[in-house]
Amino acid sequence: MDGQVVKKGLYEEVVVHPLVLLSVVDHFRRVEEDDTESKRVIGVLLGEARKGRLDVTSSFAVPFEEDENDPSIWFLDHSYLEKMCGMFRRINAKEKIVGWYSTGPKIRTNDLDIQALISDYHPNPVFVIVDVRPDMVGIPTSAYAAEQEIRDDGTQKEEKTFTHLPSSIEAFEAEEIGVEHLLRDVKDNTVSTLATQVSEKIHSLNGLETRLREIKKYMDHVVDGTLPVNHEILGHLQDAFNLLPNLNMESYVKAFAVKTNDMMLVTYLSSLIRSVIALHDLINNKQIMKEKEKELDAAAAAAANPKKDGKEGPESAKEEEGGDAAEAKKDDAK
C-alpha cells in the first residue's frame, strides 16, 4: 500500500495577487459566453520567487480544448503561448513563467500531462486552481506542485503526483488602491455596515462547516480503508485540535460569561435608547400636529370674518352714494 507523499516543495507559500483573480474570472466569463457548456479554462501564471515565497502577480489566457469523454485528448496552442511569452518578456523581464492555472474546480487526470508541458518553461511550475463559482465559500485558490511519490519501503514511483502547497491572497500597496476603487464602485451603499459584517460572519461559518465536513469525510475514508493513513495530515489535524480552547476551564467559562454579558448590556442599552428616542419623536410629532391644527383653525376663522365685512361694506357704500346724489339734486334745484 502506498504511503504518504514526501514534500520537497521549492516554495513554502504561493501568494496570488488580485490582478490574477480578475484576469481568470474575465477569461472564464468570455469563454462561457461563447460556449453554452461550462468548460474550464487554462492559462499561464507569471511572477517572481523570493526566499521560498512565490508571488503570482500576472497571468494570461491560453487557448485550450479537451474532450469531456476522453481526458487524454486535449489541445493547447503552443504558438500562441510562445508569442505571449515573448511579448511579456519585452514588457517586464522580472515577471517569468512560474506555473499555470485552471478553473477546475478539481484536479483532473490530464493535469499531470499539462504540468509536464509547462515544465519546459519552468523547472518547478506551480499549479493553481481558481474556483470561479459564485457560491464558493472561502479562499478561491488552491496551489499544488508535482513531486515524486515515495512508498513506505523507500522505493520511488516513476509517476508524479500533486502535493498541496499553502496559498494566500495578498496585494501590494499600489494594488490595494486599485482594489479599493473597484470595491467602491461595486459596493452597494444602501447596505449598512452591520449587515455587511453579519454577512461576512455567515460566510465564514459556512466555510468552517465545509472544512469540517471535508475532514470528517477524509477520516471516514481512512477508517474504512478507502484511503491510506497519512501521518502528515493527521499531524496537522492534531495541531488544529490542540489550538482549540478547553471549554471546561473555570477561567474560560467566566471570561466567556463576562464577554457575553457585556455584549448583551450593549444590546440592551441600544434598545433602551432607541425606545426613548422613538418616544420623544412621538411627543414632538403630536406637538407639531397640534400647532398645525391651531394654525388651520385661526386661518379658517380669519377667512370667515372678511366675508361679513365684504357684505356690509358694499351696502354702506351704496347708501353713502345715494345720500350724496340726493344732496347734489337739492343743490341743483336751488
Query: What are the sequence ranges of the domains in the chain?
Result: 13-187, 188-244, 250-295
Runs of H (alpha helix) within 92-124: 111-118
> Is pLDDT of 9 > 80?
no
Pick the CATH number of 13-187 from 3.40.140.10, 3.40.50.150, 3.40.50.1220, 2.20.28.270: 3.40.140.10
3-class SS letters over the chain? CCCCCCCCCCCCEEEECHHHHHHHHHHHHHHHHHCCCCCCCEEEEEEEEECCEEEEEEEEEECEEECCCCCCCEEECHHHHHHHHHHHHHHCCCCEEEEEEECCCCCCCCHHHHHHHHCCCCCCCEEEEECCCCCCCCCCEEEEEEEEEECCCCCEEEEEEEEEECEEECCCHHHHHHHHHHHHHHCCCCCCHHHHHHHHHHHHHHHHHHHHHHHHHHHHHHHCCCCCCCHHHHHHHHHHHHCCCCCCCHHHHHHHHHHHHHHHHHHHHHHHHHHHHHHHHHHHHHHHHHHHHHHHHHHHHHHHHHHHHHHHHHHHHHHHHHHHHHHHHHHHHC
At position 236, the amino acid (one-letter code) is H
* 174 vs 114: which has the higher pLDDT: 114
> Is pLDDT of 284 > 90?
yes
Mean pLDDT of 123-130: 93
- C-alpha cell of residue 203: 460566510
Give the global pTM: 0.61
Mean pLDDT of 304-331: 56
Mean pLDDT of 219-247: 88
Mean pLDDT of the chain: 82
In percent, the amount of the chain with pLDDT more than 70 equals 81
pLDDT in tens, 39-49: 889 999 999 98
pLDDT in tens, 231-244: 888 898 899 888 88
Do the Cβ atoms of 98 and 16 come closer than 8 Å? no
Confidence of residue 184 (pLDDT cuts 50, 70, 90): low
- pLDDT number for residue 144: 94
Mean pLDDT of 108-137: 88
- pLDDT number for residue 1: 34
> Is pLDDT of 229 > 50?
yes
Mean pLDDT of 169-189: 73
> Is pLDDT of 5 > 50?
no
Confidence of residue 189 (pLDDT cuts 50, 70, 90): low
- pLDDT number for residue 104: 82
- C-alpha cell of residue 2: 502506498
